[in-house]
C-alpha cells in the first residue's frame, strides 16, 4: 500500500528563499539557486563533459523540490551541441509542490522561464508512484518518483551515471541521508557513476563510503566553504537493467490493436524499426475497434497492485495522448462510478478519505451531488474522476501508428499461422509455411488469440466475449459525462450511445438480442428508468474478444521458455528461462485504453535498457513468468 502524499506548502524565508515549514530549512542556497545547481550538482558530477558522446545518460536526484536542479540540467543539456542523445532524469520527492505553487517559485528564475512553463504544462496529478514525462521529441525523460526516498529507491530499476544527493540538512531530514538510502544508491550506480552533494557532514561521507563510493571534499558554493563529490568504487554489483539495446534494433510486432500500436510507437520513439503484422485489413479491427471505451482508474482501500498499476497507467495515458498527433479522439468529460448499494457508497467514501487523494484525481459525491452533476437521478452516489472520460480506441491506435512515422512498415492482411526462431531472427510464417517477415526481436501483442501462433504454454489466458449495445442518441437524455456501475454508459458518439458490456466465454462473433437485454439491465442499474421502452431486438451492437489472465493483470515482458527444470519454491522470476528475444504485451482485458501506453513504455524501456517507468514490484506483477512462479511456490509443476 502506498502512503498518502502530503504536498509541500509554499513558504519563504525572510530573504525570499523557498522554505520548508515541515523541515525548517531552505530548498536551496540563499547565495543563489541556479548558481548552486550548476556548481554543486552539475560541475560536481563532471557535467556537461561526462555526458558528451554518450547515447544515453541517467541522472538521479534524491529531492526534486522546486525543480531547480532539473531546470538547470535541462538548460545545460539543451545548450550543449555535444550532449548525449537521450537524457533520463529520475527524481524522488516525498512532498511535491502543486503546479500553481511551482509557477510562483519559478518566477524567481526568469532564465528558465520557457523550460519551467513546459514542465508545469505536463506536471502530474499529485498521487504516489512513478510519473514519466517526455520532452524534446522523446530525447529528455523526467521520471518523478513521489514517495518515501528509501522505499522508492528500493523499487527503482535503473543504472545511474550521476547522483544529485540533495535534501534538507541531515539533522532536519535524517531519512534522506540514511545508511539504507546510501546502500540503495550504491546498488543503482553504474560503473564510474559520480555523486555530488553540498553536505560534508562526517556521517554522510562515512555512509557513502560504506556504500561503495570514494568521496572527497571540493570547494563549496557561496558562503559554504566545502562540498562533497564521489565516484562509485565497485563495478561488479548486480544491476537491475541491461546496459544497452540490441545491436539490430528491429522488432517484429504481431497485432495492430491498442497493445501492438502502443508498443510500436514507444519502440519507434527510441529509434527502432518496426515491422507490424496484422491479419485484418487494417488496425483496431477486433476488441480495439469499439466505438467508445471508458477511461478511469481503479481504487481500493488497500491500494493493491491492480490499483497502483492502473493509477499510474491512467495518468500516463492522459499525458501520452496529449503528445500524439493527430490527437486521439477522446473527451475528458469526467467519469462517475456509481456505488452498488449504500454499503459500497460508504466504502467508496472511506477509500477517498483514507488516501487523501487530490480533487483533480477523484472526489466522492453523495447521491444528491451526483444527481445534480448528471441531471438525472442515479441509484447511489459514487466516485467522480474529473480527468477521465471516454475515448475512441481506433483513433488511439491510429495516433500511435502515426507517431512511428517512417520507422514503421505495416502489413495488413498478414495472417500469421506460426512463429519460429531461426538463425538469430524470429520468422512469421503463413499457413503454407512461407516467411511473411522476420526480425531479431519479437513482440507478441495480439488479442485473445495471440498465443496460438507462438504455441507456447505457461500463459493461462481466457478468451472472453464482450458485447456492447448501441442506442440511438435520442433515446436517452444527453449525458454530461460517462457513468459506470456494473456496466457503463458513455455520452453519445456519432449519434450512438454505447452501453456495455457482457462477459461470456463462448465464441459466437455476432451480436445477440439476449446480450442487448443484459446491457439494458446494466443501464437500468446505472440510471433507473433509462431503459424503459427499449427493445433488445431493435438494437445494434458490436462483439469483441478479450484476452484475460487469471489475475486480471496484463502480461508485459520476456515470455517464458520450456518448463524450467530443477527449480523449487525458492525460485525467483530471474531464474525462469525465457524465449530468446521474445516479448509479450498481452492480456489487456477490458482496460486496454488505460493500460496500453504505460505497458508499452515499460516493455520498450526494458528492451532499450532504459530506467523503468514503474516500480519493480509492479513490473514483477506483470511479468509473463509469474504464473510459473506461483505454481512452483505451491509445490506444483509448471503446466
Q: 324-387+468-548 in CATH: which number?
A: 3.30.9.10
Q: Which helix (H) or strand (E) holds 589?
A: none
Q: What is the mean pLDDT of residues 493-503?
A: 93
User: 66-118, pLDDT tens digit by residue?
Assistant: 999 999 999 999 999 999 999 999 999 999 999 999 999 999 999 999 999 99
Q: What is the mean pLDDT of residues 187-206?
A: 96
Give the chain's mean pLDDT. 93
Distance of CA 304 to the CA centre of its chain: 16
Q: How confident is the model at residue 120 (pLDDT cuts 50, 70, 90)?
A: very high
User: 517-567, pLDDT tens digit by residue?
Assistant: 999 999 999 999 999 999 999 999 999 999 999 999 999 999 998 767 778
How much is the pTM? Answer: 0.96
Give pLDDT, residue 448. 72
Determine the Cα angle at 410 with ends 406 and 413, to 5°: 165
Distance of CA 180 to the CA centre of its chain: 26
Class of domain 19-232: alpha beta
Calpha distance 326→392 (Å, rounded): 13
Exposure b/e, 434-451, CB count within 10 A at least 16 = b? eebbbbbbbbbbbbbebb
Residue scoring higher pLDDT (50 or 8)? 50
Calpha distance 258→262 (Å, rounded): 6
Q: How confident is the model at residue 243 (pLDDT cuts 50, 70, 90)?
A: low
Q: What is the mean pLDDT of residues 428-444?
A: 96
Given a cut of 70, is residue 198 above it in pLDDT?
A: yes
* CB of 240 closer than 8 Å to CB of 260: no
Give pLDDT, residue 1. 65
DSSP 333: -
What ranges do the domains of the chain cover? 19-232, 250-286+394-461+550-633, 324-387+468-548
Contacts of 549 (CB under 8 A, 6+ apart): 459, 460, 461, 462, 555, 586, 587, 589, 627
* CB of 596 closer than 8 Å to CB of 590: no
Architecture of domain 250-286+394-461+550-633: 3-Layer(bba) Sandwich (3.50)
Amino acid at each position: 500500500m502506498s502512503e498518502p502524499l502530503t504536498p509541500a506548502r509554499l513558504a519563504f524565508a525572510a530573504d525570499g528563499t523557498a522554505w520548508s515549514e515541515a523541515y525548517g530549512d531552505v530548498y536551496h542556497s540563499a547565495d543563489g539557486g541556479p548558481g548552486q545547481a550548476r556548481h554543486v550538482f552539475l560541475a560536481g558530477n563532471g557535467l556537461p563533459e561526462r555526458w558528451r558522446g554518450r547515447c544515453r545518460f541517467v541522472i538521479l536526484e534524491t529531492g526534486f523540490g522546486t525543480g531547480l536542479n532539473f531546470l538547470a540540467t535541462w538548460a545545460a543539456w539543451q545548450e550543449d551541441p555535444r550532449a548525449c542523445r537521450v537524457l533520463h532524469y529520475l527524481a524522488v520527492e516525498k512532498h511535491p509542490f502543486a503546479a500553481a505553487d511551482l509557477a510562483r517559485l519559478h518566477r524567481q528564475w526568469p532564465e528558465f522561464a520557457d523550460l519551467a512553463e513546459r514542465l508545469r504544462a505536463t506536471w502530474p496529478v499529485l498521487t504516489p508512484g512513478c510519473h514519466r514525462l517526455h520532452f524534446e521529441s522523446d530525447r529528455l525523460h523526467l521520471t518523478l518518483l513521489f514517495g518515501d526516498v528509501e522505499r522508492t529507491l528500493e523499487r527503482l530499476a535503473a543504472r545511474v551515471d550521476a547522483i544529485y544527493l540533495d535534501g534538507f540538512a541531515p539533522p532536519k531530514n535524517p531519512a534522506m541521508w540514511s545508511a539504507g538510502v546510501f546502500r540503495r544508491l550504491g546498488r543503482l550506480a553504474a560503473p564510474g557513476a559520480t555523486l555530488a552533494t553540498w553536505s560534508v557532514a562526517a556521517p554522510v561521507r562515512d555512509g557513502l563510503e560504506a556504500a561503495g563510493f570514494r568521496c572527497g571534499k571540493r570547494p563549496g558554493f557561496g558562503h559554504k566553504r566545502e562540498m562533497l563529490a564521489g565516484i562509485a568504487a565497485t563495478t561488479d554489483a548486480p544491476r537491475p537493467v541491461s546496459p544497452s539495446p540490441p545491436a539490430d534494433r528491429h522488432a517484429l510486432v504481431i497485432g495492430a490493436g491498442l497493445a501492438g500500436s502502443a508498443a510500436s510507437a514507444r519502440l519507434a520513439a527510441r529509434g527502432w524499426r518496426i515491422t507490424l503484422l496484422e491479419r485484418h485489413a487494417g488496425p483496431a479491427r477486433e476488441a480495439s475497434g469499439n466505438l467508445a471505451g471508458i477511461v478511469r482508474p481503479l481504487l481500493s482501500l488497500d491500494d493493491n497492485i491492480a490499483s497502483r498499476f492502473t493509477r499510474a497507467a491512467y495518468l500516463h495515458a492522459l499525458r501520452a495522448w496529449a503528445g500524439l498527433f493527430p490527437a486521439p479522439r477522446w473527451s475528458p468529460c469526467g467519469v462517475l462510478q456509481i456505488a452498488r448499494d449504500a454499503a459500497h457508497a460508504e466504502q467508496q467514501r472511506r477509500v477517498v478519505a483514507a488516501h487523501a487523494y487530490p480533487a483533480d484525481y477523484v472526489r466522492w459525491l453523495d447521491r444528491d451531488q451526483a444527481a445534480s452533476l448528471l441531471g438525472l437521478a442515479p441509484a447511489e452516489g459514487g466516485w467522480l474522476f474529473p480527468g477521465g472520460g471516454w475515448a475512441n480506441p481506433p483513433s488511439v491506435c491510429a495516433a500511435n501508428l502515426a507517431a512511428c512515422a517512417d520507422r514503421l512498415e505495416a502489413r495488413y492482411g498478414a495472417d500469421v499461422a506460426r512463429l519460429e526462431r531461426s538463425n538469430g531472427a524470429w520468422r512469421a510464417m503463413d499457413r503454407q509455411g512461407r516467411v511473411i517477415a522476420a526480425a531479431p526481436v519479437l513482440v507478441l501483442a495480439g488479442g485473445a488469440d495471440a498465443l496460438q501462433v507462438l504455441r507456447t504454454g505457461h500463459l493461462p489466458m481466457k478468451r472472453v466475449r464482450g458485447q456492447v449495445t448501441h442506442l440511438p442518441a435520442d433515446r436517452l437524455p444527453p449525458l454530461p459525462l460517462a457513468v459506470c456501475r456494473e456496466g457503463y454508459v458513455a455520452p453519445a458518439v456519432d449519434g450512438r450511445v454505447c452501453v456495455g458490456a457482457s462477459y461470456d466465454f463462448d465464441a459466437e462473433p455476432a451480436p445477440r438480442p439476449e446480450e442487448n437485454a443484459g446491457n439494458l439491465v446494466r443501464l437500468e442499474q446505472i440510471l433507473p428508468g433509462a431503459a424503459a421502452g427499449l427493445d433488445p431486438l431493435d438494437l445494434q451492437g458490436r462483439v469483441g474478444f478479450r484476452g484475460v489472465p487469471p489475475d486480471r493483470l496484463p502480461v508485459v515482458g520476456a515470455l517464458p521458455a520450456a518448463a524450467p527444470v530443477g527449480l523449487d519454491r525458492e525460485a525467483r522470476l530471474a531464474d525462469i528461462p525465457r524465449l530468446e528475444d521474445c516479448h509479450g504485451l498481452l492480456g489487456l482485458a477490458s482496460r486496454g485504453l488505460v493500460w496500453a501506453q504505460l505497458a508499452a513504455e515499460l516493455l520498450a524501456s526494458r528492451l532499450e535498457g532504459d530506467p523503468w517507468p514503474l516500480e519493480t514490484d509492479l513490473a514483477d506483477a506483470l511479468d509473463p513468468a509469474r504464473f510459473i512462479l506461483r505454481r512452483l511456490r505451491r509445490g506444483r509443476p509448471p503446466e
